[in-house]
Each structure stands twice: as structure tokens, then as C-alpha cells.
Structure 1
Amino acid sequence: MQNLETQLGELGFAGDDMVVPFQVDALDVRGRTVQLGPLLDTMLARHAYPEPVARLLAEAVVLTALIGTSLKFEGKFTVQTKGDGPVDLLVADFSTPDALRGYARFDQAALDAAIEAGKSEPEALLGRGVLAFTIDQGGFMQPYQGIVELDGRSLEEIAMAYFRQSEQIPTAVRLGVAKLFSRDEDGQPRESWRAGGLVAQFLPQEPERMRQPDLHGGDGDDGVLSHDPDDAWSEARAMVETIDLDEMTDPEVGAERLLYRLFHERGVTVYPAHGVYDRCSCSREKIRDVLGAFTAEELAESTENGKITVTCEFCSTAYEYAPEEFGQD
């Protein structure tokens, strides 16, 4: 654990693809922040997603990295959206200790129509549906899943609603994605993706201080709040809301400079950074086990040119199998 001024002066910056935990004791706030660079660029380039789809998936991957690295046990954390918009599925998961991956499914015709109609904002592309947060500890433990509605809000807003409704923890979330333009060693233009995010949570010693104003009750609600938010949390949340997109994605800013800008007057402490890596959990053996449960008819339907080919949706690795491996001639 290092005081932030000491870390800036002596240890330098965590850099890309490193999740940085932090704590602001004066405000009873804990959180994590990250900038994703090469990891994200490789992940998105692998599928050559259209730009609006890439931006959505990048936000989901950042959110997954921020929350997944907080797991205190071996397991997997998954963020998944299912909606009726052109991007009908987003999946990002983090497997302990450091493996991150993501995938987006979209309807190209519907996406083109939405863009032509000027409806390319993330909320419109996701449509109506659900966002699920799943924690799987493996073994004989029952997975835990929290679900919140996709209702036209951004992923930032939906994530905050999840923590408020399911976890009862006051939470502020900021997510940002940018495409940078540069030149390679040969002077040729190059595009690269970057993304960043920050999650801050109010965790005072007195649980009653975590109470928040009541949610709006719908039609007939007079809008009067049952009580005021805690002053410390109001201050912390206001600080987080000042974060600009550039600060979250600019490699010259970095996680530590951002935290210093936000909280140095209150005193902020950073903890050792947690590296994340573009690692898929697929394998030839796992997919073979899945195919082994297919019926003879299903295997026959999956065979083309004398072989069965399965491509991982996450990492695009193609696995080939001979039908006779499954007792089929």
C-alpha cells in the first residue's frame, strides 16, 4: 500500500491493462480504476466489429475487469446483456486470477438501419431486455445472478442501478471508450482502441450511513425523498462525475494521475495493481466433451467435408475433429 503522492514520485504508473484499487478514508470510499490498451485493441480487432458494436463491448469489458478483479475467491464473474436491439447479446467474463474475454453478437442489417436512422447511441443498439451479473464459484456452489432491466439507460447507469437495488451499496460508475489514431514505424496510419473506467463505492463503518434516497415510486409519487444522502458520499459522487472521457482513455493521464486529480485534497491511497490478460478459457478438450454429448444425427449434421469444425466465439480459435473420434464413421 502506498500513499498516492509517494507512488507518483517513486514508483511511477501502473500502465495499461492494470486494475488499480484505491481508498479514500476521509470519504469512506473504496474503488478501482483501469485503462485498457493492447488487451482491448487485440480483443476487438480479432472480430473486426463495426465501431458502434466495438464501443459497446469495450464498455462491458471494462466493467467486467473492474468488478471481476475484486473477487476474493477462485471463480468467474460475467456481465451479459440480452436485448431486442441490433446488438442483441454482449458477454464479457473474468476468470480468476487474471483472464478477461468478451464477445458481441449483432444483426448487421438491423445495425445498418439503426445507424441510417440516427439511432446509433448505445441505449438504442441494446434495446429493451436485461443485464445480468453472474458470480460462479465453481465446485458445488450455486452461481449467484443479479438481473437489472435494460430500459434505455447507459451501461454506466444500469450498473449503478444494479448495485443500488441488488447490493444496497451506493456506487458511482464511469466508463469511457476511444479510438486513437497514430502512425506505425513505417509511417502508415494506425487505429487502436482504448477504454477506461472507475468504480467508487461508499462503505462506511456505520451501515445506516449507506442508506440512499428512495427510488421513485412511479405514477403518483410526489417526488419527496425520505432522507438526504450522506455528505461524504455526495462529495465523492460529485468528484467522480467530473471525470472526462479523455482522462479515462489518455495513456498520458493514467490511473494514478486521475485519482490524484480527483481525491488529492482528501488523501487517496492506492494498492498494488492487478494485471488482466486477453485469455480465453476454451480448449480442444472442453469442446470435444461438448461434442461427445451430441447424438449421431447431430454429429452428422455438423460434419462438412469429412470433419467437424468448431470456432470459439470469443477468441476465434478453430478446432477440427474427425467424426470417428465420436464413434461415427
Structure 2
Amino acid sequence: MTIGSKLAWDDTVLPFQLDLSDIRGRVARLDGVLNGILSQHDYPAPVEALVAEMALLTALIGQTVKLRWKLSLQVQTRGALRMIATDYFAPEKEGEPARIRAYASYDPEKVSDAPAFEQLEDGYFAILIDQGKGTTPYQGITPLAGGSLAACAEAYFAQSEQLPTRFALNYGRALQADGSGEWRAGGMMIQTMPKASPFAQSGEGGSGENGLLRAEDLVDGDEEENWRRVNFHVDTVDELELIGPDLPPTDLLVRLFHEEQPRVFDAQPVRFGCTCSEDRVRQSLSIYSANDIEKMTTEDGIVTADCQFCGAHYELDPESVGFEAKK
């Protein structure tokens, strides 16, 4: 594979539809985005893995939000990993890239060698959509269950949206001879086209963990047959096929779904990006009095702020911030 063809699919999300089975989906490939996110912090291996999984889910889910909207995924727990937060900023204009950022908060003394998902305990998975000024953000929450963040996202779509959804993800760090490495991630999301679900509306419990609804609980008849058939093909995907770069997403779709009449749409480029700025820091500090600001002032006589997402460091004159700031 040439360098040019590799770059053509890195950091992109490709939407597709399977016309025969009335199922839509996306294929995502992340490398620069993921390296940009993880290079800002020295996370332990289990935390890195969970942040990578969340970033990949964010790219796959976020592609559907409209221009200028913001989608956020959050995990809050009482375990070793206290929080993961990701943001997907939709493009300002058609043809522009979307931006993704992510970070995690964890207790280094509690992080263990246990599998990544076991670092989470007694918490929830949330999806938030912000449509902009003058609107109320939407929020949907589901318990942490199923053994992976992908399973939590599937449960969210079943519970909150009544949409059968499946994720197939792979991510990892390729180590070089000198010990350095770069992250790559790839994944696929499939989802039935929106329809009313009599089962979900009945209020009965589902077949998932703790009675949560699963995708299989929401389909019947021809839709169930289509869902089972397409999932059978997804089960055959090789983990390296998801990551690439040797197999373009278009070729992967043909290999998996050539009998389902796959149809692709324009790919969405994504980039690592943050919205922090000095103005935003000043705005966040505007609710504090001069007395509060004094308590935040360092021995060097400045107020400092660090962005958890991108690592930007801000130093401000304490007299210029807060609602009692001297103009």
C-alpha cells in the first residue's frame, strides 16, 4: 500500500448503508487523532486503553451530529478510573474536519494490572448532545455493564434510542525497536434504521445484564433475520482489518457485505483539537470574587490554569480576572 493511500483513510469516518438489509453504519480509522490525545498524558496502560476505546466510540457516534453541534461521551465511576470525558466538535462548514479531544482522571494508587474495564466500578456511561446557544443539551445515561465501553454504548442505544446497535473495535500501540510507539485504532458501527419497537415500548425488562435491553430484544421478523445475518458477517472481521492501513474501509465493506448491497457516502475527516483559550479561562473565573481569586494566586503572584484535554498552560494577572477585576 502506498503512503498516499494510507493517508487517505487515516483519521476518517466513512458512513455507509446496506440497502438490502436496511442497516446503516460507519467505519472509523484513527491514528494522528489518538496519538494527539494520548501524548498529552502519561497514562497507565489500562487507562490508555479505555481512553482509546472512548475516542473511537466518540468518532463513530459523533459523525451523525449536525454542523456546529457538540457530542460528548462521559464515564463516571468510583473505581480506579474516576472519569473519562470526550468531545466531538462537528465541522463549522461542510467539508471541514471534525475535532475530537479526550482525557481521563484516575487514582494512580488504585490502578492495577487487571483488565481495563475492571478499573471501572459503580458508575455510568453517558452521551450528551449540545445543539448550541438557546437550546437545552440532551443527556442519556446507562449503567456500566457488559464488560466493555462498546457494550455500554450498545446498551445506551437500546435503552434510550431503541435502536439495535453493534460496535466492533480494535486499538493498540505499535512498538518500534527503540521502544517508541504510535497508536492506531479502527472500528465499525452498525445500526438498524429507526423504527418503533413494540418490545421496548412495553416496558418489559431486557435480556442483557441487570435486565438491560439488548439489540436482539428490539428486532423481530425480517428485521431480526437481517440483523442476525449482518452481525454474522461482522463477526468474521479480523482485528487488523479494522485498524488498517493495508485494507481500505471501502474494500473491507465489500469483503464483509458484498451481498448486502453496500453504499458509501462522503468520508468525514477528524482531527485532534481543543477549544480552550485564554478568553474561556477568564470566563470560567468570572464567577469568583477578588477574595476567591486571591486564594488561587500562586507565590509568584499569578493565577494559573491548565487544560486537561490539550495540556495548554495559562498564566493570568489576578487583578484582571473575576467579577471584581480591575479594568
Q: Give the match for residue 185 of structure 2.
A: 195
Shift of 1:243: 2.5
Are the counterparts in 2 of residues 36 and 194 from structure 1 also a CA contact under 8 Å? yes
Which of 161, 181, 195 lines up with 2:155 in the alignment? 161
Q: Deviations over 1:226-255 (max 9, x none)?
A: 966621111112222332322222311232
Match of 1:4 in 2: none
Matched-pair contact (CA < 8 Å) for 2:162–2:197 = no
SS of residue paired to 1:47 = coil
Equivalence for 1:252: 246
Q: Which residue of 1 aligns with 2:168?
A: 174
Separation in 2 of the partners of 1:246 and 1:109?
A: 34
| Structure 1 residue ranges (4+ consecutive) displaced by more than 6 angstroms after TM superposition | 209-214, 217-220
Give 1:31 deviation, angstroms.
0.8
- After TM superposition, the structure 1 = structure 2 runs for residues 120-131 of structure 1, keeping only pairs within 5 Å, are 121-131=115-125
Please, which moves more after superposition, 28-37 or 208-217? 208-217
SS in 2 for 1:286: helix
> Superposed, which structure 2 residues align to 1:169-248 within 5 Å?
169-182=163-176, 188-203=178-193, 207=195, 215-216=206-207, 230-248=224-242
With 210-219 and 29-38 compared, the bigger mean Cα shift is at 210-219
Asked if 1:319 is matched to 2:310, the reply is no
Number of positions where the alignment pairs a residue of Structure 1 with one of Structure 2: 304
Pair 275,217 (structure 1): closer, same or farther in 2 beyond 3 Å: closer
Partner of 1:290: 284
Deviates more, 1:295-304 or 1:85-94: 295-304
Residue 274 of structure 2 corresponds to residue 280 of structure 1: yes
Amino acid at match of 1:171: T
Distance 2:31 2:165 in 1: 25
Residue in 2 that maps onto 1:7: none
Q: Secondary structure at the match of 1:264?
A: helix
1:160 aligned counterpart, secondary structure: helix
Please name the residue that 1:100 is paired with.
100
Aligned to 2:136: 142
Which segments of 5 or more consecutive residues in structure 1 lack a partner in the other structure?
1-10
Q: CA RMSD in A?
A: 2.7
Q: Do 1:24 and 1:267's aligned partners in 2 also have CA atoms closer than 8 Å?
A: yes
* Counterpart pick for 1:33 among 27, 41, 44: 27
Tell me if structure 1 keeps the 8 A contact 2:146–2:209: no
Identity of aligned residues (%): 35
Q: What SS does the aligned partner of 1:27 have?
A: coil
Farther off after superposition, 243-252 or 127-136: 243-252
Gaps of 5+ in 2: 92-97, 212-216
Cα pair 1:163 1:171 within 8 Å, conserved: yes
Task: Give the secondary structure class of the aligned counterpart of 2:87.
Answer: strand
Distance in 1, Cα, partners of 2:144 & 2:252: 30
Tell whether 2:10 aligns with 1:16: yes
Distance 1:291 1:201, change over 3 A: same
CA distance in 2, matches of 1:244, 1:55: 19
> Residue 107 of structure 2 aligns to which amino acid in structure 1?
D
Deviation at 1:72, TM superposition (A): 2.4
Paired with 1:290 and 1:124, the residues of 2 have a C-alpha distance of: 34
Aligned-residue offset at 1:153: 2.4
CA contact (8 A) 1:24 1:30 kept: yes
Equivalent residues of 1:181, 1:192 under 8 A apart: yes
Task: State the AA in 2 paired with 1:129.
Answer: G
Equivalent position to 1:50, from 26, 44, 52: 44
Check whether the contact 1:78–1:134 (CA below 8 A) recurs between aligned residues.
Answer: yes
